[in-house]
Amino acid sequence: MATHLNIVLWKANGLARHVDELNTYLRFRDVDIMLISETHFTSKSYIRIPNYTLYDTQHPDGTAHGSTAIIIQNTIKHHLHGH
């Protein structure tokens, strides 16, 4: 069992256009949890990150600005509460 968590905070300014960079960073920095602001996700946005679960929110008006995401390594027990 790990004795520490590697948690990263990132202001992405549009996550979909940084997916390759994100995958590389997560893999080489062994990130456990990444908190992301400014994803600019909408209900049509989707990215997949191998070995991670992504939870995201969209801006209430449905347009591509603001928004947040949490990316958690699958080896960490977690669940989405309240849904």
Phi, psi at residue 24, to the nearest 5°? -65, -45
Is the pLDDT at 32 greater than 80? The verdict is yes
Residue 23, exposed/middle/buried by CB under 10 A (0-12, 13-18, 19+)? middle
Report the C-alpha gap between 53 and 74 in whole angstroms.
6
**Residue 1 pLDDT level (bands cut at 50, 70, 90):** low
Looking at residue 25, its pLDDT comes to: 94
Whether 64 has a pLDDT exceeding 90, the answer reads no
Given a cut of 80, whether residue 62 has pLDDT beyond it is: no
Q: What is the pTM (predicted TM-score) of this model?
A: 0.84
Confidence of residue 31 (pLDDT cuts 50, 70, 90): very high
